[in-house]
Amino acid sequence: MSNVAIAVDLGGTNVRCSVIDDAGRVAFDARQSSDAAEGVDAVISRIARMIDAAATDQQIGASVAVGVAAPGPLDPQRGIVRYAPNLPGWDEVPLRDRLEELTGREILLGNDANVQALGEFHFGAAQGVRDLVYVALGTGFGGGVISDGKLIDGAGGLGAELGHTTVNIAGPRCTCGALGCVEAYCSGWAIARHGQMLAGTDRSPALAAAAAAGEVDARAVADAAEDGDAAAAAIIQQAGLALGAALGNFVNIFNPQMIVIGGGLAEIGTPLLEPAEATLKQFALHDMLDGVELRRSRLGTRTGLFGAAALVLKR
Ligand code: ADP
Ligand code: MG
Ligand code: ZN
């Protein structure tokens, strides 16, 4: 292999580690549970062991660097995870320095959604697109913006927290403490919360049944909607409308050529994305809307790994 990187994607659920070359070929693919409840040190040691295992398996020299996508907010310049809602106990963790000590390798760290935007830009749906808005619809609502070919980091490295765009100043409370963020409508946790509230009423027979059988998550709400449950369908539609309003804002602010939508929640497909597209057309300025292409991610669950490799290979 010519030019390779070790890529790590740290999530609240899983840690993934791959070896990826500059043509986007994946040579190694390991996944372990994050086991975040074991604490910060255990998670960091596990990541270091996965990096060592990848290097041994692929006979990779010590000079090859590692790109790491991690939940944020984080400071990519100082290599510090400020805090992470999905990683309990993570408070001002110097992840870059700790991994450099343990592996002896250079580590480059980036916010997961920002890194995913880089993955789409260098290896995915947005190759050759100089102005890109990437939206990650997962447990939360992540975002990354590439403007004139460069990732927007902001002054403190915290830029492009697109999920906390206000779509309703009197809307529901978000995990960030503010009201009416798009994430409080269109994210795995928000759709699950709305579904759980509905399950306790007499409005949704399908969600009441789902709650009796187990936990109501976003997928359960989407399934109930698909089976014709009107109240569940309204939750998905409202999430789509909020998404569309936010996308309209993004178009007006960044004038992108392309919007790429990734993340597990995007699997809902048309019931979520059709109202979003209709609302986007209502809120975006039409001069800018004409040039925008809306696409689903093609990299699937590997977007973060490709982006982490891009941190190293395309710096
Ligand atoms: P993260 O990386 O933030 O953990 P993912 O991108 O893996 O998140 O997405 C997870 C979220 O997407 C969860 O809320 C899950 O319920 C939801 N989800 C995953 N697949 C589907 C699906 N097919 N339909 C609806 N929701 C889904
Ligand atoms: Mg971001
Ligand atoms: Zn918020």
| pLDDT at site 201 | 95
Query: How many angstroms separate the CA atoms of 193 and 175, rounded?
Result: 12
Nearest CA owner, ligand 1 atom 14: 188
Ligand nearest to the CA of 112: 2
Does residue 155 belong to any structural domain of this protein? yes
Helix (H) or strand (E) holding 36: none
Residues 191-208 pLDDT 10s: 999 999 999 999 999 999
Rounded average pLDDT over 228-248: 98
Give residue 186's identity as a one-letter amino acid code. Answer: C
- Do 93 and 184 fall into the same domain? no
* Ligand 1 centroid, distance to 187 Cα (angstroms): 9
* Mean pLDDT value across residues 289-307: 94
- All residues with CB under 5 Å from ion ligand 2: 113-114, 143-144, 160
Evaluate whether residue 54 is within a structural domain.
yes
For residues 65 and 104, give the distance between their C-alpha atoms in angstroms, rounded to a whole number. Answer: 10
67 in Cβ contact with 108 (< 8 Å): yes
Shared domain for 153 and 253, answered yes or no, is yes
Q: Are 44 and 80 in contact (CB under 8 A)?
A: no
In a domain, 289, yes or no: yes
Closest of 188, 190, 84, 81 to residue 136, by C-alpha: 188
CA 172 to ligand 3 centroid distance, Å: 10
Instruction: Please provide the size of the chain in residues.
Output: 315
35/66 same-domain check: yes
Ligand with the closest atom to the CA of 72: 2
Angle between helices 230-254 and 205-213 (to 10 degrees): 90
Mutation test residue for ligand 1: of 111, 139, 185, 194, the one with most atoms within 8 Å of CB: 139
pLDDT bin (cut points 50, 70, 90) of residue 210 is very high
Average pLDDT of 293-312? 95
Residue span of the structural domain in which 53 resides: 4-118+302-313
pLDDT value of residue 124: 96
Q: Please, which residues have CB less than 5 A from ligand 3, an ion?
A: 164, 174, 176, 178, 181
Q: Using 50, 70 and 90 to split pLDDT, how confident is the model at 2? A: low
Query: Residue 22 domain-assigned?
Result: yes
pLDDT at position 155 over 90: no
Distance CA 82, CA 31 (A): 24
Q: In the prediction, which pLDDT does 303 show? A: 96
Indicate whether 105 and 252 sit together in one domain.
no
How high is the pLDDT of residue 156? 81
Q: Which residues contact 86 (CB under 8 A, 6 or more apart)?
A: 11, 12, 13, 36, 71, 139, 140
Tokens 């619809």 belong to residue: 137
Percent of the chain with pLDDT over 70: 99
- Helix (H) and strand (E) counts in the chain: 10, 13
pLDDT score for 158: 84
Quick one: pLDDT at residue 73?
Answer: 86
Examine the domain organization and report whether 306 and 209 are in the same domain.
Answer: no
Q: Tell me what the pLDDT averaged over the chain comes to.
A: 95
- Pair of tokens at residue 247: 């996308």
Cα–Cα dist 161/304, whole Å: 16
Flag whether 277 is in a domain: yes
Res. 178 pLDDT band, cuts 50 70 90: very high
Cα 33 to averaged position of ligand 1 atoms, centre (Å): 16
pLDDT in tens, 275-292: 999 999 999 999 999 889
Q: Are residues 132 and 157 in the same domain?
A: yes
**Closest listed residue to residue 65, CA positions, set 307, 311, 303:** 311
Question: How far is the C-alpha of 224 from the C-alpha of 2, rounded, in Å?
Answer: 49
Q: Is 102 exposed, middle or buried, given 0-12, 13-18 or 19+ CB atoms closer than 10 A?
A: middle
Cα–Cα dist 29/58, whole Å:
11
pLDDT at 159: 86
Closest ligand 1 atom to Cα of 139: 3
pLDDT, average across residues 247-272: 97
- Indicate whether 103 belongs to any domain: yes
Other beta carbons within 10 angstroms of residue 315's beta carbon come to: 9
Q: Are 128 and 107 in contact (CB under 8 A)?
A: no
Residue 72 binned pLDDT confidence (cut-offs 50, 70, 90): confident
Q: For residue 85, what pLDDT band results from cuts at 50, 70 and 90?
A: confident
Q: What's the pLDDT tens digit per position in 43-60?
A: 999 999 999 999 999 999
Confirm if 73 and 83 have CB atoms less than 8 A apart.
yes
Q: For residue 73, tell me if it sits in a domain.
A: yes
Q: Are 81 and 195 contained in the same domain?
A: no
Residue 133 sits in the same domain as residue 202:
yes
Question: What CATH number is given to the structural domain containing 248?
Answer: 3.30.420.40
For residues 137 and 249, membership in a common domain is answered with yes
150 DSSP β-pair partners: 147
SS3 262: strand
Verify that 147 and 286 share a domain, yes or no.
Answer: yes
pLDDT digits (tens, 9 = 90+) for 4-44: 999 999 998 899 999 999 999 999 999 999 999 999 999 99
Residue 123 lies in a domain: no
Helices (H), 200-260: 205-213, 218-226, 230-254
Pocket, ligand 1, Cβ cutoff 6 A: 11-13, 138-140, 188, 217-219, 222, 263-265, 267-268
The total number of structural domains that make up the chain: 2
Check if the beta carbon of residue 236 is closer than 8 Å to that of residue 230.
no
**99 Cα–ligand 2 center, Å:** 22
> For 224-239, what is the mean pLDDT?
98
Q: Are residues 187 and 215 located together in one domain of the fold?
A: yes
Location of structure tokens 């795995």: 188
Is a pLDDT exceeding 70 seen at residue 1? no
pLDDT of 185 higher than 90:
yes
209 and 261 belong to one structural domain: yes
